[in-house]
């Protein structure tokens, strides 16, 4: 999806609990940081302790551990536009690639994404990926969530949605053109 000449990719992740989310995200974050991408988090409930404990069991160098721990893995109140704007604009000054991880209830994720979309219209020339993380026990019908995303992340990495949900077919948007005259 293009937004003001930004390349925006929306990724969805489903997790069972915070440990599952941590195990799913850490390898991906490690690869993301190695590419020079800046990571921003918007978390309704923080996962810092899980990140710290799992990192202690991994065989990563101190520099990598510190980079991962420097990411804000703590809770954030409902996503205030001004705070999101400041953080995204700061990251946009530093690099061309930004990854934003959003975790929370459906309402929290929706508000965060609306604010992210507003901010990304104020910058250009960036590659932005948004990973929206949904806890599976809260959602029974996931087709609507999948329709809003381009890809999916799980413990094996980022994949095409159809690779994971083989029966899934993205809904086509019907566009009608009214002829005048």
Cβ contact 12:153 at 8 Å: yes
Q: What angle do CA 162, 168, 171 make, to 5 degrees?
A: 110
- 38, 95 in Cβ contact below 8 A? yes
Assign 169 a pLDDT band (cuts: 50, 70, 90). confident
**127 pLDDT more than 60:** yes
At the top level of CATH, the class of 2-164 is alpha beta
pLDDT band at 181 (very low <50, low <70, confident <90, very high): very low
Tell me, what's the pLDDT at 139?
Answer: 65
Computed over every residue of the chain, the mean pLDDT equals 88
List the domain boundaries for the chain.
Answer: 2-164
Q: Read off the pLDDT band of 137 (50, 70, 90).
A: confident
pLDDT for 18 equals 95
H-type alpha helices, the chain: 18-34, 48-56, 62-70, 81-94, 106-120, 143-147, 161-164
């Amino acid at each position: 999806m293009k937004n003001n000449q930004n390349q925006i990719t929306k990724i969805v992740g489903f997790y069972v609990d915070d440990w599952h989310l941590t195990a799913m995200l850490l390898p991906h974050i490690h690869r993301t940081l190695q590419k020079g991408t800046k990571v921003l988090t918007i978390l309704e409930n923080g996962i810092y302790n899980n990140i710290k404990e799992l990192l202690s069991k991994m065989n990563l160098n101190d520099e990598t551990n510190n980079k991962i721990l420097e990411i804000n893995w703590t809770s954030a109140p409902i996503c205030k536009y001004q705070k999101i704007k400041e953080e995204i604009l700061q990251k946009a000054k530093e690099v061309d690639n930004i990854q934003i991880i959003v975790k929370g209830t459906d309402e929290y994720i929706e508000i965060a994404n609306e604010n992210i979309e507003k901010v990304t219209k104020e910058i250009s020339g960036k590659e932005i990926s948004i990973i929206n993380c949904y806890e599976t026990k809260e959602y029974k019908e996931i087709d609507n969530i999948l329709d809003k995303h381009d890809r999916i992340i799980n413990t094996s990495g980022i994949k095409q949605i159809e690779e994971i949900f083989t029966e899934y077919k993205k809904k086509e948007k019907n566009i009608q053109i009214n002829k005048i005259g």
